Structure 1
């Protein structure tokens, strides 16, 4: 028994030493991996009501990384590794996926999500882990407003940018407006920003419907009742994302003929804009339409998208590409250092080229300042959708986009 005890006493330190060696080896491998990779978690809606938007963003994001790295997927000798995650459009799922991305997947940077509701659930996670979340394409003002923290940047436009640019076409004395929007962060923030942007026109009714609405009869009737007795120009402003848009339901009511009520809205994905053919001459403002911006980045996007998919890039494809370019340009500035403080210093005030031309992250709230496009719908039999013809580019410096965060 004595020799066995001696053997055990000798064996334990050896095992501990071996454990230290193995642990050190694993740590060394992890450190070596960290030194050669930059891990990016892309969390967005690949299923759910905003599925079409999320899938476009995926395509655009990969194209943006490809464009900005010259096809190498490398920055400063480090490989870019993208981890795709589907938040299903659910805030609780998005929050848990971001937590797992930062903690388990060791993501250096996260991008997304599609839904404003999901984004608001994710913001505190970025602050807790002290890592960058680049928001694309969620729109609600509160993301870079009162819910913001210093780890949040946004390449997508915000509700104020949508509202200010759409007000260009509508904000005239004698115009009365009823809004029709979804009852969640995107719709409510959108209406609030639109109201704030108006100086001359008057909103007489706000109608909010569930995101998954398919029967618009009652909602449209309430909007019509609020407008039909009004004098002056009568307009319904639609603020809607994903699901079943109300445009066909509005067209079926023949509102212009029956009540002299016009329908206005912003840009959208091409399938949704098929219904715009029912509203020739309709004006609004859009974030992107592939035929509008004239610059080398957009030319590359349109050309390569046609080559790969035999179709033009859509609304959210451009946004995804912009996010990809922004990340690469920031990493180039840091020499491939993905640490949050280095990235924040590099990205605050950073200008970069995008399919929409030059964008700049505003230092105060990290919102990308960018052009928007005032359009008028033309019906062209060569296209399956109503074509938004450019009236004029509304440049970033023309829009007084309020700073709403508490820095």
Structure 2
């Protein structure tokens, strides 16, 4: 699993410069008094602020998010990039993965009139921007940020991606419906990221009767053979790997050399496509949990639309492209409920609560009680290695089987 709060998938950070600014200008209806210029015959534009990682260690994820948002806005508005004649204007702020920069950017956008914010590639960012949105009564739709605490953060905060609990429940699905009596070992680095994964596995599987222990390696360790040996010696029914950084390839090599794969089932997250070669020959022996990869949903109508749009723009869908697409669907739905008006934020919020819709991954539901986004997840295998590695869905785990417990709304 990766180091990022965005997803537990890749074993290494991958930074790619994100795309340039987006200004989506739609068709305007003529002659609407009081909402725009009577002479120009246009309705007032709606500003949506995107606060995301355009640069920094999560820039690859930010790029996917932005591309998905473009595609989703076009899809949800039937190509007009406008809602009820109001053009949707996108203003970008690069947080570079830094919560302080994100807060500054969010405040700047709000000061310029934005009543809708979206983005947040990193959990630390989402957890700081959410309270700002609540203080200013601004609708906020968090993106790939996975922290469970984003769910139920406050009445103004939603999410367009999955959360960590859904990852862990997907991992748990590999050991069957009953975890009682099973032994699970978490192999991770002794860092905040690794410890958080240990805590999450204990909270989910430990509560269901599994015995959970951990093998933690110093983040600076380069000889990983001792830790692979310890993991094998623990004799778990499932070895859950949550790894970060440039030692990923060395870790998978060590696990192969110690013949861990023949001793137990090894589960980790499948991240963006650029990370597939990192698994080497071990890739075909790993059971992957997955949020999304291109084609994972079986080419439903929405996925096809997203894929076509992103491909025509010169890119390819990846793990967090749907998060941007879904965010745009949510923004448009909220605006449609108010005919493009943003003065009543509570009305925008109410329109999203309990909303079920067809998304890239299939049927999605915004849970009214805490704004969790209920969605299917995937069990995946890799075939081939290196540049030839290709993912395939082994099983789609229904939304209700990975749904997090309802979180009390904090604010």
Distance 1:304 1:90 in 2: 30
The range that moved more, 256-265 or 129-138, is: 256-265
| Greater CA drift, 229-238 or 393-402 | 229-238
Partner deviation per Cα, 1:57-83 (whole Å, 9 max, x = no partner): 111111110111122110011010001
Question: Residue 354 of structure 1: CA displacement?
Answer: 1.3
| Deviations 1:184-229 (CA, angstroms, capped at 9, x unpaired) | 4x655544333222235432216386xxx6x5426x4674364243
Cross-structure match for 2:321: 317
Tell me how far 1:111 sits from its aligned partner: 0.3
- Match for residue 393 of structure 2? 390
- SS of 1:130's equivalent? coil
Q: Using the TM superposition, name which of 113-122 and 329-338 deviates more.
A: 329-338
Report the CA distance shift for 1:326/1:180 in structure 2 as closer, same or farther (over 3 A). same
Corresponding residue of 1:282 = 286
Report whether the alignment pairs 1:140 with 2:147: yes
Seen in structure 2, the aligned counterparts of structure 1 residues 229 and 191 have a Cα distance that, compared at 3 Å, is closer
Who is 1:16 aligned against?
none
Q: Which residue of 2 aligns with 1:330?
A: 334
Aligned length: 364
The 8 Å contact of residues 126 and 151 in structure 1, kept in 2 or not, is answered as yes
Matched with 1:119 is 126
Distance verdict in 2 for CA 1:112–1:64, change over 3 Å = same
Matching of residue 238 in structure 1 with residue 242 in structure 2: yes
Structure 2, unpaired ranges of 5+ = 1-33
Residues in 2 aligned to 1:125 and 1:206: alpha-carbon distance in whole angstroms: 38
TM-score between both structures, scaled by the size of structure 2: 0.80
The residue number in structure 2 matching 1:207 is 216
The structure with more helix, counted as a fraction of residues: 1
Query: 2:232 aligned with 1:224, yes or no?
Result: no
Distance of aligned partners of 1:73 and 1:155 in 2 relative to their CA distance in 1, 3 Å threshold: same
Q: CA deviation at 1:284?
A: 2.3
- Contact kept, 8 Å, 1:178 with 1:226, in 2: the verdict is no
Does the CA contact (< 8 Å) of 1:39 and 1:81 recur in 2?
yes
Q: Which residue does the alignment assign to 1:12? A: none
Structure showing greater Rg: 1
Mapped to 2, the partners of 1:139 and 1:191 lie a distance apart of 15
Q: Is the 8 A contact 2:377 2:402 kept in 1?
A: no
Quote the residue 1:403 is aligned against.
Answer: 406
Q: Distance in 2 between matches of 1:167 and 1:193?
A: 11
- List per-residue Cα deviations over 1:25-63 (Å, max 9, x = no partner): xxxxx9748961111010111111111101111111111
The answer to whether residue 255 in structure 2 is matched with residue 250 in structure 1 is no
* Cα distance change, pair 131–232 in 1 and its aligned pair in 2 (3 A): closer
Deviation readout 1:319-369 (Å, 9 max, x if unpaired): 111111121122222222223111111010011221111211000111111
Once residues 355 and 272 of structure 2 are traced to their aligned partners in structure 1, the CA distance between those partners, rounded to angstroms, is 28
Do the aligned residues in 2 keep the contact of 1:180 with 1:206 (CA within 8 Å)? yes
